[in-house]
Every structure is written in structure tokens, then in C-alpha cells.
Structure 1
Amino acid sequence: MEFFIPEHCPKCKGEGKKLKFENLLHNLKDIAKLEREKTYYFCKNHACDVVYFSGLQTFSNDDLIRKTAYKSADLDATICFCFGYTIAQADEIHFEEYEKKKARFCACSVRNPSGKCCKKLFKSFLQTQV
């Protein structure tokens, strides 16, 4: 028998971030396995391949419509879900332009798999390009 702590990832045992159900609906390729009455979490551990979990049920980057750079270093992984920017595009984008667009059209709470603003992640990729 396998035991788990509800708000901790069943793979890495790290603490998860509770999500709105809508976040999963906007980001998973196949929503048939979701159950509205369950509570889902985002695994905050960068090294763990689990993105979402609820109990022992898990979803990885492969289950997402667009891979998140939070969990993958692939060049096609997304760093900004509002505008679809990938790691490969990070050095082409001016941060000031990005901030202006983001202020007007941000929808991170549902578009970003983590359910939070991607500005910090985006900025970290810009700094690695310098």
C-alpha cells in the first residue's frame, strides 16, 4: 500500500501549489481523466517531471498542450503562456516590450501551468542569455 500526503507530490515528495480546476482545463491535452471534485496541485520542484498531481494521479510535461520551461530545458518549452514565447525566443524579446504587453493582456492564472505569473521565469531566462 502506498501512502501520500495530499498536498505533496507523490514522486518527489515536495510541497505542491493548490490550483484552480480551470488551470488544468486550459493546459492539459486530455481532460478526460480529471475529476472536478478532486483538489489538484502543481509540483514546484524543477527537477521533478510531475507537473500536476492529485493523490497518486500525476500529469507530466508530455500531458500539457505546451511544455513548461519550469520543468524542461527544451528550446520549444514555453516561458510565457500568455504570448507563447519559448526558450528559443528568449534572446529575441525585449523585456520592456514584454512587460507592456503583459500589463494589458496577462492571463497567467489560467494559461500558465503553475497558475502564477510567468514574469519571474521569463526574466530568469533573459538573464541566462546575457
Structure 2
Amino acid sequence: MATIVCPACHEPARRIALRTVKALLTGAALRRLVPKDEFHFCASPDCDVVYFAPDQVFRVSDIRERVFQKDTASEAPVCYCFDWTRESLVAALHRGARPDEDIQEHVRLRRCACDLRNPQGACCLGNVRAVLADARQRS
């Protein structure tokens, strides 16, 4: 099976559910959507394409949420379900809290909606743990 790559940056992309794309597009972008295609998510931070299909491209400006992989600001969301930003994760870590364990417990209790809220259409725990690891390394 061939690897699907982003049409703009040519980085590998992963398939994403149409319901995630539809949930996160702005109204104007949703009006342009042709829902028959299979969509993919581009996680490359240097590319402004978020979702694409063979004849459709949706960019950062077409998305209702800030996209973690494409927004390096401290107030950018990392966990979309439980409102954790880079800044709040680092602050919690410095207070001795374990936000990753808190999020994991909510996931275990089936409270998350990552498939709809997170632009990558998947659980945020990997992103959360990467932010925390980076913060620990910088301390």
C-alpha cells in the first residue's frame, strides 16, 4: 500500500475520519467540502495544510480550532477535551501535578471525545506526554 503524502509539503499523512473533518471545518470551509473523498491529516508543523483529499485541501485558516502540531504558542491547545494548553501543562508540572495521569483517567472513564475535538482525530496523550517531556528536559 502506498504512503499518502501531503500535496503541499510531501510529508506522510494519516487517514482521518470524515466526521472529524466536518466537525472542525469553519462554516465557509464546510460549504466547500465534497464528502465523498477519503481525507488525510498533515501533522507537519511547517505546512499550513491540515486536511486533504485528492481534489480538496483545507488549511489552518479553514479550521475552527488551533491545531497543536501547527501552532507553537504557549496557549495553543494540546488536550482539546479537557482544556490543557502547553502553558497549563507546564505550570501543572511545576506544581508537582501529573496532568497526563489526570487525562489518562478521564480517557479510561470514556469521557474524551478526541475523535471529534482534536484536529488530528486521535487521542492527545502522545502530544501531552511530549510537551511534558520537553518541559522536564528544559528544567
TM-score, with structure 1 as normaliser? 0.84
**How many Å apart are 1:60 and its aligned residue?**
2.3
C-alpha RMSD over aligned residues: 2.0
Distance in structure 2 (CA, Å) of the matches to 1:109 and 1:63: 18
Cα 1:101–1:57 change in 2 (3 A) is same
Report the counterpart of residue 29 of structure 1 in structure 2. 26
Distance in structure 1 (CA, Å) of the matches to 2:9 and 2:67: 18
Structure showing greater radius of gyration is 2
1:47-86 superposed Cα distances (whole Å, 9 cap, x missing partner): 2221111125322222222112112101232111111222
Distance in structure 1 (CA, Å) of the matches to 2:102 and 2:16: 29
**How many Å apart are 1:119 and its aligned residue?**
0.4
Give aligned-pair identity as a percent: 26
**How many Å apart are 1:45 and its aligned residue?**
2.2
Report the counterpart of residue 15 of structure 1 in structure 2. 12
Counterpart contact for 1:69–1:87, Cα < 8 Å: no
**How many Å apart are 1:127 and its aligned residue?**
1.5
Report the counterpart of residue 79 of structure 1 in structure 2. 78
**How many Å apart are 1:118 and its aligned residue?**
0.8
Distance in structure 2 (CA, Å) of the matches to 1:78 and 1:89: 9
Q: Secondary structure at the match of 1:11?
A: coil
Report the AA paired with residue 96 of structure 1.
Answer: E
Gaps of 5+ in 1: none
Runs of 4+ in 1 over 3 A off after TM superposition: none
Cα 1:62–1:85 change in 2 (3 A) is farther
Higher relative helix content: 2
Distance in structure 1 (CA, Å) of the matches to 2:61 and 2:75: 12
Gaps of 5+ in 2: 93-97
